[in-house]
Amino acid sequence: MLRKVHAFIDTAFGEHLSKTQEFLRIPSISIKQTGLVETAQWLRNYLETFGGDVQFAGSPDAPILSAYFDAGKPRTLLVYGMYDVQDVEGQIWSSPPFAANIRKLPGIGSSIIARGACNSKGPLMGFLNVIQAYKHIDEIPVNLILTIEGEEEIGSPNLSEFYSKKRDWLKSKADAGFEPFWAEYGTDVVHPIISLGSKGIIVVELICRGGNWGGPTKQSVHSSTGGWIASPVWRLVKAVSTLIDDEENILIEGFNNDVLPPTPEEEKILVELSKTFDEKRTLEIMSAKRFKFKEKGVDLLRRYLYSPSIHIGPLMHTEGDVIASEVQIQLVIRIVPEMDSSKTVDNIRRHFAKMGYGDIEVITLAHYPYSKTHLQDKVVQSMLETYRQYKVKPQVWPMSASATPYYLFSEMLELPYIWGGLGKAGRSHVADEYASVKGLKLFEKSIATFLYKFSQT
């Protein structure tokens, strides 16, 4: 059956490619609430052509799609996907970000250039194309439960409640969790990757308003008054600058108190990983001259994967050349085992108060914890066997520095999980995001192989 499915993918790939481009041409920017309902409805229509029972849940403005494909098989895979993407504002693209044009990239070949091609509408469509291929040939080799959200890029605020409401049913049905995603995208794209965990995330908004410290309190004023009226923008910038030192070490008291080092098993994986990790190539890929830390080898990998980080989002106020009465900025904090979200935010509040910025409001917008899975889990071994069939030896990473809500698999449902699929893609979140055309076909074939192998466990 697998050979027939691969042959069908070869035959139907032109249609699959066109369908993927069609999907990518729908802007679905969650931070701006752009095109989310339209995209969800497009997905619903496509899934229903496979005979899936598709329901909308969560926010009506960014629906979660829930679909169940009962093939009467002994194994069931719970599949996570996302249809929202990051904003493109301020980025300079060589091809319009929602045109999904195909261009040749040096060293990569013909590629779809589009926001979401890599992260994560491209791999989602690759997976759905595999379902279509299996349904055309015979039947899907495993039962599938799909949950596809449109709010991942803003912290998945409604996904936890959705999983919580369906927890008992999902636990009774699912054997493992899975997200289709490029194994050849990541820090070192020379090697496909298998990751056994991911960091958690906290998104907070900082708000600075005019008050007793200075600044306009009721309305914004012309920027020329900056000669004698203080600016909430400058105050917020100075407050944020106290969070780190010159090397971006975090200076918040108590911030790292609950951070755990890697387990002995994870340390062994780190040591093994360091043998094939190419620091020079990684810097080239990141277009960087140096790492911000002095460590090398396994020490650099350990710090990268097992240390929290703070990223600054855009500084926002709604007016132009003014001293605004209120300004906001977002912080994206990636947390590691065993950091607690509420305690971390409290530490930030205490830090600002200690530094004389207690008037700055700190609001938690979204958060979820880290997750872990294990190398010996059957679903992980099925992915490893898939890569071996394609004569690929992946790098095994004990943790991913990115944050994805896999805790819903590992913590809420107590399920093993894996993400993966061969094929090259890259430039996630930045201009000229791409997915290789050849890589998309390889991705579909590897996903078809993975589903078959998992059905045999």
What DSSP character marks residue 224? G
Sign of CA dihedral 449, 15, 4, 66: positive
CA distance 164 to 413: 9
Q: Which residues contact 418 (CB under 8 A, 6 or more apart)?
A: 176, 177, 178, 194, 373, 377, 379, 380, 382, 383
The residue range of the domain holding 44 is: 2-196+373-455
**Length of the chain (residues):** 457
CB 142, CB 122: distance < 8 Å: no
Per DSSP, what are the bridge partners of residue 348?
none
Predicted local distance difference test score (pLDDT) of residue 188: 44
Q: 3-state DSSP call for residue 356?
A: coil
Q: 3-state DSSP call for residue 202?
A: strand
| DSSP symbols for 5-68 | HHHHHHHHHHHHHHHHHHHHTS--BGGGTBSHHHHHHHHHHHHHTTT-EEEEES-TTSPEEEEE
How crowded is residue 318: how many other Cβ atoms within 10 Å of its Cβ?
10
Q: From the first residue on, what is the mean pLDDT of each consecutive set of 10 residues in the chain (457 residues)? A: 94 97 98 96 94 91 96 96 96 97 94 97 98 93 97 92 96 97 70 92 96 94 93 96 94 96 95 92 89 94 96 81 93 95 97 98 94 95 96 92 92 96 94 96 98 95
In a domain, 340, yes or no: yes
CATH assignment of the domain containing 330: 3.30.70.360
Examine the domain organization and report whether 227 and 139 are in the same domain. no
∠ CA(15), CA(21), CA(24), 5° rounding?
Answer: 145
What DSSP character marks residue 98? T
Examine the domain organization and report whether 393 and 435 are in the same domain. yes
Order across the sheet with 425-426: list the strands: 101-105, 109-113, 434-436, 425-426
Query: Token pair of 254, please?
Result: 């108590």
Predicted local distance difference test score (pLDDT) of residue 190: 61
Examine the domain organization and report whether 339 and 378 are in the same domain. no
Examine the domain organization and report whether 222 and 316 are in the same domain. yes
CB 64, CB 148: distance < 8 Å: yes
In a domain, 298, yes or no: no
User: Where a domain ends, among 368, 389, 407?
Assistant: 368
In a domain, 283, yes or no: no
Predicted local distance difference test score (pLDDT) of residue 186: 52
In a domain, 393, yes or no: yes
Examine the domain organization and report whether 70 and 177 are in the same domain. yes
Domain count, the chain: 2
State the pTM of this model.
0.88
- Cα–Cα distances (Å) from 218 to 209, 306, 316, 325, 393, in that order, read 9, 44, 18, 7, 62
Examine the domain organization and report whether 388 and 331 are in the same domain. no
CATH assignment of the domain containing 434: 3.40.630.10
Predicted local distance difference test score (pLDDT) of residue 51: 84
Examine the domain organization and report whether 170 and 240 are in the same domain. no
User: Where a domain ends, among 347, 368, 389?
Assistant: 368
Q: Which of 79, 159, 83 is nearest to 120 (CA)?
A: 83
